[in-house]
Chains A and B, each alone.
Chain A
Amino acid sequence: MDLIIPSSGLIFWQLIGFLALLFILVKFAWKPILSALEERETSIENALKAAEQAKAEMANLKAENEKLLQEARIERDNILKTANDAAAKMIEDAKQAAATEGAKMIESAKGVIENEKKAALTEVKNQVAQLTLEVTEKLLRKNLATDAAQKALVDDMVKDINLN
C-alpha cells in the first residue's frame, strides 16, 4: 500500500463512514445538544435579565418609599409648624387683647379720677370762697362797728380821690 497515493477503498469507506457519522450525529446528537445549549443560554440570559429587572424594581420601590417617607416627613413638619404658628399667634393675640383692655381700663380709670379730682377741687374752692366771705363779713362787721371807724374809712377814700 502506498503512502501518498490515496487508495480507493479507504476513500470509499471513509466517505461512507464519515457521512454516516455526520448524518447520525447531526440528527441524534448535535441538534439536541446545540438546541439544549442554546435553550440554557437563553434561559440563563432571561433569568439574569429578570433578576436585573427585579433589582431595578426593588430600587424603584425603595426610592418611592423613601420619597413617600420624605413627603410624609415634610407634611408632618408643615403641620407642626402651622400648629406652632397658630398657637404662637393665639398667645400673641391674647396678649395683645389683654394689653389693650388693660390700657383701656387704665385710661377710663384715669378719666374718672380726673373728674373726681376736678369736682373735689371745685368743692374745695367753693368752700374756701364761702369761708372767705364769712370771714370778711365778720371782720367788716367788727371793724365798722363804730361811726368813727366808718368816717375814717370814708375819709381815707376821699383823700385817695383828691390825690388823683
Chain B
Amino acid sequence: MFRKFLCLSVLFSALLLTFSTPTFASGDEEDKTSFIMHHIKDSYEWHFTTLGHTHVTLPLPVILYSSDRGLEFFMSSDFQDHETHRFGEAHGQGVYYIDAHEHLHRADGGSFVDLSITKNVAMLFLVVIVMGFLVISASSHYKKNGVKAPKGVASFLEPIVIFVRDEIAYKSIGPKYKKFVPYLLTLFFFIWIGNLMGLLPGAANLTGNIAVTATLAVLTFIIVNVNGNKEYWKHVFMTPGVPVPLLLVIVPVEIIGLFTKPFALMVRLFVAITAGHIVILAFIALVFIFESYAIGVVSTLMVTFLNVIELLVATIQAYVFTLFTAMYIGGAVAEHEHH
C-alpha cells in the first residue's frame, strides 16, 4: 500500500514538474502563488501550461450582446497580447476590452450581456458530453438486452443508479420518489463527474464555481417549491401548533428558511471544491516559494494524499448535494397524517 502510494507520488510529481515548473520558476512572491486564484477563478481563455515563453492555451469565443450593438463574436486571443497572453485595455475590440484582472468592460459605459464561452463553460460542455456519452452508452445496453444482467458501462453505472434511487430518492422522498429520480440522477452524476474532471491537471474548477452551484441550487429550489403540497405551504405560512403572536416571528423565519436551504447547497459545494483545489495548489506553491528539494518531496507526498482525499470529497459532495435536494423535495411532498 505504502509503496503504491510512493509510486503514485513520484508519478504525480513528474507530471507536476512537466506542467508547472517553467511557469512559476521565475517571478516575484506574488507570481508564485497567483496561479492558485487564477486556477480557481473563471477565465476567458483556457491556459494549460507555459513552457519557457510559450503559452499553451486554448483561445475561447467571447460572445457579447448589447441592445445597440447586437450579438458580437470574438476570440479571447483578440483581447490579449500575442506574446505575453496578458489581457489589457490596449487590446480592445470595438468598445469592449478585458482588463488585467479579466473583467470585461465596455469603454462607453453602455450595458451588455456577457455570454462568452469561458474556461468553465468549455469545461461544462466537456462534462456534459462525457456524462451524456457515459449514460447514453449505458442506456443502450438496456435497450438492446432488456432485463439481462448489466455489462460494461452499464455495470459501472447501475449500482450508482440503484444507490441514488433507493438510498437517496426513496429514503428521503418516500412513496412519490419516482418522479424525481431522473433529476436526482442527473444532479448526482453531473456534480460527481464535474468534481472528478475538475481534479484532472489543466482542468477548470467547474463545480467549485459559484455560478454553477448557484444554478443547480436554484433548480433545486424551483423543483422543491413547485412540488410543495398544501401541508408544505401551510407549514410555512400557518405553522401548526404555534400561537398567533408567535407566527409573526415564525413565518418570516420559515420564509427565510425557504431560501437558506438552496443557499446552503450553493455555498457547501462551492466551498468544498474550491477549498480542496486551493489546498492542493497551496502545497504545490510551497515548492516554488521555498525552492527546496526537501519541501518538494514533502509537498508532493501531501499533494498525492490530498488528491486521494479530494476523490473522496468529490463523491461525498455529489452525494450530499443530491441527498439534501432529495430531503428538501421529501419535505415538500410529504403527507403528514398527524398535526
A interface vs B, CB < 8 Å? 1-15, 17-18, 20-22, 24-26, 28-34, 36-37, 39-40, 43
Contacts and interface: CB of A to CB of B under 8 A. Distances in A.
Nearest to B178: A34
B121 A10 contact: yes
A28 B136 contact: yes
B43 interface: yes
B212 A14 contact: yes
A11 B142 contact: no
4 pairs of A and B residues whose beta carbons are closest in the complex: A6-B211, A36-B142, A10-B211, A29-B139
Contacts of A5: 210
Nearest to B154: A33
A21 B186 contact: yes
B322 interface: no
Contacts of A39: 146-147
Contacts of B214: 6, 11
Task: Identify whether the interface residues of A are mostly helix, strand, loop, or mixed.
Answer: helix
A31 B186 CA distance: 12
Contact of A10 (B102, B143, B161, B212): B212
B270 to A, nearest CB: 8
Contacts of A22: 182-183, 186
B215 A11 contact: yes
10 contacts: A7-B42, A8-B113, A9-B114, A9-B121, A10-B124, A18-B215, A21-B132, A37-B142, A37-B165, A39-B146
A28 to B, nearest CB: 6
A43 B132 contact: no
B132 A25 contact: yes
A9 B186 CA distance: 22
Interface of B: 37, 40-44, 63, 101-103, 113-118, 120-121, 124-125, 128, 131-132, 135-136, 138-139, 142-143, 146-147, 154, 157-158, 161-162, 165, 181-183, 185-186, 190, 209-212, 214-216, 219, 274
A13 to B, nearest CB: 4
Most interface-central of A4, A13, A24, A26 (chain B CB within 10 A):
A13
A37 B116 contact: no
Contacts of A11: 211, 214-215
B210 A29 contact: no
Given A15-B215, A34-B182, A1 B117 contact: no
A2 B41 contact: yes
Contacts of A37: 142, 158, 161-162, 165
Most interface-central of A5, A10, A13, A31 (chain B CB within 10 A):
A10
Given A9-B121, A11-B215, A30 B147 contact: no
Nearest to B148: A40
B124 A17 contact: yes
Contacts of A4: 210
B271 to A, nearest CB: 10
A2 B37 CA distance: 10
Contacts of A21: 128, 131-132, 186, 190
Contact of B135 (A2, A6, A17, A29): A29
Contacts of A6: 209-211, 214-215
A26 B37 contact: no
A25 B182 CA distance: 8
A25 B41 contact: no
B136 A29 contact: yes
A96 B37 CA distance: 126
A48 to B, nearest CB: 14
Contact of B136 (A3, A13, A25): A25
Contacts of B142: 32-33, 36-37
Given A4-B210, A21-B131, A21-B190, A12 B115 contact: yes
A9 B121 CA distance: 8
A8 B42 CA distance: 12
Nearest to A11: B211
A60 B135 CA distance: 48
Nearest to A5: B210
